[in-house]
Structure 1
Amino acid sequence: MPDDFTLARRSAMRWNAPLDETHAALLLSRLDVEGGTVVDLGAGWGELLIRAVETTPARGLAVDTDEVALDRGRRAARDRGARVEFVEQDAATWQGRADRALCVGASHAFGGTGQALAALAGVTDRLLYGDAFWAAEPTTAAVDLLGDDILTLPALLETCRATGWRVLHLSTADQREWDDFESTSRAGRLEWLLAHPDDPRAAETREWLDTREREYVTTYRGVLGFAYLVLVK
């Protein structure tokens, strides 16, 4: 059973992406789930998937390798009466077809953006896809921190077309969504630190929190964007 330090890592996060309630509702309305099967590849704890199916006859399947996140999702789905199965599996190895699919912030599981979009084209004809892009010219420090495989938004859309997708809906995370995402990604560990100042892990946790905050505000705030695409074939 994970201890409270492990559970604190993402405990303050609603979902593991820069997204607010209004934006999430818009994306799910564009995904247009009516029934059948909805798969979320790289689901984490599957909050978007649960919302996609809980008021419909649809059934959900959440696929991820994070056991702690999957357990959180199972509890949430059970408590809310959502018909979602959580499976511990590498998203890129899942094979099957679904009426709708989600893949938000999980292109790395497939080896990158192009590989993810190509693989997902074999899964469904309607996809909610979320991925990072450069919203401004990145500095060397940003590339060193985040990698050199991030695309610009025009290049991301061209990659969608090249892999057989058409863009039904496009929106991007705004600055408030980003700030809330970054803040909540640290908040769980900060609350743990305040409650356990003398724990042997306290100094390392304090350093991690300070480093993450500095990296965000000095290196990629306003530079890294996040796009939400509802794609169809």
Structure 2
Amino acid sequence: MDDELNALRRARMRWNTPLSEPHADLLLDRMGLAEGHLADLGCGWGELLLRAVERTPGLRGTGVDNDVTSLERGRAAVERRGLASRVELTEADAATWDGPAERAFCVGAAHAFGSTKAALDRLARVVPSGRLLYGDGFWAVPPSDAAAEILGPGLLTLPDLLDAVDDAGWRVLHLSTADQLEWDDFESTSRAGWEEWLAGHSADPRAGEVREWLDQRLREYVRDYRGVLGFTYLVLGR
């Protein structure tokens, strides 16, 4: 897809994770934010990072991602919300960013490090002493062959994920999971930008490909991984 459609696809998403506003507020509360440095590795457009900085005097933020389209959206929001002196969004590989930081987010970005275990180990170097908000998918129930093929071999069960947390030297300070409404909203908003575009551009040469993607995504979600794929939010301490 071209840059225009890439930008539109996530246009209706608040953030690229199944997370409600109240749940996000709870997680930010649990992070114990204070003045210092907060890094968001795999930040996307950085909405959660911006909200953390807005609510915390003296906190500065660094977001790291290699998705140029998402970073452009985030930088526009930084300027619009008057945060340019406190937030920097950097185009880089999240897995190679060294830190250190007193606080960090890594939500839905374990793939950038290669695996859940590799992410947790690396993040322990980024936050040698402090708190990490770590968000990751897990198998809520045993997957079908179709679900396993769609989502790949790297997912763990929640108990196995917690074992990886322990092995990396983290303590679990808070654990919560996305509920079904959060998942349904996430999946719906991930399609909404293109659905809106398609409604007004049915004769566009790109319309067939967009329609095919939208139809396949909805089928796979409902038939293969709705209620099977979970997502957990862990506030971890060291």
Q: Same fold (TM over 0.5)?
A: yes
- In the other structure, the counterpart of 1:177 is 182
- In the other structure, the counterpart of 1:162 is 167
SS in 2 for 1:87: strand
Residue 211 of structure 2 is aligned to residue 206 of structure 1: yes
- In structure 2, C-alpha distance between the alignment counterparts of 1:169 and 1:81, rounded to whole Å: 31
- In the other structure, the counterpart of 2:102 is 99
Per the TM alignment, residue 3 of structure 1 is displaced from its structure 2 partner at its CA by 5.1
Per the TM alignment, residue 86 of structure 1 is displaced from its structure 2 partner at its CA by 0.5
Residue 138 of structure 2 is aligned to residue 133 of structure 1: yes
Partners of 1:60 and 1:85 within 8 A in 2: yes
Partners of 1:135 and 1:224 within 8 A in 2: yes
Residue 158 of structure 2 is aligned to residue 153 of structure 1: yes
Instruction: Give the residue type in structure 1 aligned to 2:13.
Output: M
1:37-186 to 2 correspondence within 5 Å?
37-56=37-56, 57-82=58-83, 83-124=86-127, 125-186=130-191
Per the TM alignment, residue 5 of structure 1 is displaced from its structure 2 partner at its CA by 2.1
Per the TM alignment, residue 7 of structure 1 is displaced from its structure 2 partner at its CA by 1.7
Per the TM alignment, residue 55 of structure 1 is displaced from its structure 2 partner at its CA by 2.4
Q: Structure 1: any 5+ residue segments left out of the alignment? A: none
- In structure 1, C-alpha distance between the alignment counterparts of 2:161 and 2:115, rounded to whole Å: 11
Per the TM alignment, residue 77 of structure 1 is displaced from its structure 2 partner at its CA by 1.5
Per the TM alignment, residue 98 of structure 1 is displaced from its structure 2 partner at its CA by 0.4
Aligned residues: 232
- In structure 2, C-alpha distance between the alignment counterparts of 1:3 and 1:162, rounded to whole Å: 41
- In the other structure, the counterpart of 2:196 is 191
Partners of 1:19 and 1:177 within 8 A in 2: yes
Structure 1 pair 159–192 and aligned structure 2 pair: CA distance change class (3 A): same
> TM-score, normalized by length of structure 2?
0.96
Partners of 1:126 and 1:231 within 8 A in 2: yes
Partners of 1:46 and 1:73 within 8 A in 2: yes
Q: Structure 2: any 5+ residue segments left out of the alignment? A: none
- In structure 2, C-alpha distance between the alignment counterparts of 1:149 and 1:96, rounded to whole Å: 26
Partners of 2:7 and 2:70 within 8 A in 1: no
Structure 1 pair 159–131 and aligned structure 2 pair: CA distance change class (3 A): same
- In structure 2, C-alpha distance between the alignment counterparts of 1:6 and 1:128, rounded to whole Å: 27
Partners of 1:128 and 1:228 within 8 A in 2: yes
Per the TM alignment, residue 112 of structure 1 is displaced from its structure 2 partner at its CA by 0.8
- In structure 2, C-alpha distance between the alignment counterparts of 1:64 and 1:201, rounded to whole Å: 27
Per the TM alignment, residue 4 of structure 1 is displaced from its structure 2 partner at its CA by 3.5
- In the other structure, the counterpart of 1:33 is 33
- In structure 2, C-alpha distance between the alignment counterparts of 1:37 and 1:154, rounded to whole Å: 31
